[in-house]
Copies of this chain bind each other. A is one copy, B any other.
C-alpha cells in the first residue's frame, strides 16, 4: 500500500516513469469545491522539467486530464482522477540498470523486493516523475486551503553550502519567495545556480534543504501521538524521492537549547493567542497552535550522475564501474520546492477534513 496517503481524504498515486501514463485518484473530497485548472497548470509548471540550464532537458507537458470527480469546474463528490500521458520516453537508456544498480538509487532494493519484475525504465514507480501527480493533488488542496485563508509556500533554504535567508518564524512573508528560482535572497540564489552548474559540469550533483511555511491555520488542528501534525507531514514529505530528513521549528537546533530558550512565550492580543517566538514550528502536542507551521526538509544530491561510479554486476556477482546515461537534473531541489508545498498542502487539508 505504498502509494496511498491520507486519513480523511485518500490519495492514491499510480504510474511508472516510462509507462503509458502517471496519475492519481483523490477520494473523500467534499463536493462543491471549485478547481481552477489554469491556476493548477501554473503550479504544475513550477515542477516541470526543461526549464533551462539547471534541469533535465526532457520536455514533458505535464498537462493532466481530469478523468472524473470534477464537473463544470466544481468537485462533484466522486473520487477525482487525473492522468498525465508519458510521451517523451527513452527506455533504451535504462536497460543495463537491471543488472548494474545505480548507487544511491532504488534499482537494487526494487530488484530484491519485486524479484526482478520491477519496471526499471526511467526509475519506474520510483522516479521523481511520480511527484507530478502528487502536485496535481497538492495543487488542488492548495487552492482549497487558500479559500480558507491558509497559504503554503516553500523556498530553497540551502544548496551545497550556500544558504538562503530564513522565513521570519513568527511572520513569514510568503510573497517574498521569487518565482523563477525560489529563494528569498536573490544574491544567494545566484550563487546556488552557479553551484548547480558547477556540479553539472563535473558530471556530479548537489543536494539541499527546503524550508516550508503554512500560514493562516487556526489552532486546534491535528492530534496527539501518531497523528500529530509532525507525523502527518513527515509521512508525506518522506514520500518524495530523495528526502532524508524533516525537522519542525528549531528542530535539530533545539538539542542544544535550554527549555527557557526553546519554549515559546504566550501572548494574547484582542483575544488572539500567539507566541513571541516559534521554536515549536506552530505545533504543540501534535496540534497546531495558530502560529505558522514551519518545517525543513533535507534533499539528498541527485543519485543519477554522469561520473563513473563503483557498482556491481548482479549477474556476474562482481564489481564493475557504472556510468549513468540519460537526462538527469544536477540538482532536484528547485523543482522539489513545489512538490514539498503540494505534500504539505495535502497533509494539512487532510487534517482539516477531520471531524473535530
Contact = CB atoms under 8 A, between A and B. Distances in A.
A204 B79 contact: no
Interface residues of A, number: 153
Q: Which among A30, A236, A259, A265 has the greatest number of chain B C-beta atoms within 10 A? A: A259
Contacts of A243: 230
Contacts of A276: 310
Given A4-B226, A106-B286, A284-B108, A71 B119 contact: yes
A313 to B, nearest CB: 8
Nearest to A277: B103
A301 B266 contact: no
A1 B5 CA distance: 12
A215 interface: no
Interface stretch (A49-57, A168-176, A180-188, A250-258): A250-258
A234 interface: yes
Contact of A301 (B3, B248, B259, B304): B259
Interface string A49-88: 0000000000000000111110100111111110100000
A135 interface: no
Contact of A226 (B159, B239, B304, B353): B239
A305 B227 CA distance: 26
Contacts of A245: 245-248, 251-252, 254
Contacts of A251: 244-245, 298
A149 interface: no
A292 interface: no
A20 B255 CA distance: 34
Interface stretch (A37-45, A110-118, A140-148): A110-118
A258 B211 CA distance: 20
Contacts of A244: 230, 247-252, 254, 280-281
Contact of A67 (B23, B199, B246, B247): B23
A337 B165 CA distance: 34
A144 to B, nearest CB: 12
A279 to B, nearest CB: 8
B31 A25 contact: no
Given A14-B69, A207-B257, A234-B234, 6 more contacts: A5-B226, A83-B83, A109-B288, A207-B262, A252-B296, A257-B300
